[in-house]
Amino acid sequence: MTSPLSHRVAVYPGTFDPIHLGHMDIIGRGSLIFDRLIVGVGINTDKKPLFDLDERVDLAREVTSKFKNVSVRPFTGLAVTFAREHGARVMLRGLRTTSDMESEFTMSLMNLSLDPEIETVFLMAKEPYSHVRGSLLREIATFGGALDKFLPTEVKQALELRVRERHGH
């Protein structure tokens, strides 16, 4: 027996390595649309993350605690399985550019064929964050650039510390 899914509940799955203000914007806007929003911090088999799963979850929890209807959970399987486990009918994703669209289009169709009851809903990134991506932030941190405009303070500190540990300076 599978439990019923609610259209008032959404999951927001991603890698969040680490969570940044582009993600936070989608979370804030999503929290106003849905009764409950569960941020799913996942494992990406294509990427070697800078922060391990527990660290990514902890950082995301710290900076989203101000949103009362938002929670953060790790997940290791498929995003549609994660959504179903939480009774969510909706999977929220952010779109930055037309190049995002291509991969998101494919992924949303794949997810729909995996579980036809779960719909992907997209929010367009706000202009100031439309160029913000994890890989760029990790690179900026490595070369000592300013990150204040893109990351919450706690995350900025954690990222700067992590690249210093990695690069030994």
Question: Interface with ligand ADP by CB under 6 A: which residues?
Answer: 14-16, 22-23, 26, 44, 93-94, 96, 100, 125, 129, 132-134
Shortest distance (Å) from residue 65 CB to ligand ADP: 19
Task: Select 1 or 85, whichever has its Cβ closest to ligand ADP.
Answer: 85
Task: Select 134 or 152, whichever has its Cβ closest to ligand ADP.
Answer: 134
Task: Select 1 or 141, whichever has its Cβ closest to ligand ADP.
Answer: 141
Task: Select 127 or 168, whichever has its Cβ closest to ligand ADP.
Answer: 127
The conformational region for residue 164 under phi > 0 = left, psi -120 to 50 = alpha, else beta, is alpha
Q: Which amino acid is at 9?
A: V
Shortest distance (Å) from residue 94 CB to ligand ADP: 2
Shortest distance (Å) from residue 106 CB to ligand ADP: 12
Shortest distance (Å) from residue 21 CB to ligand ADP: 8
Rounded Cα distance between 55 and 29, Å, is 24
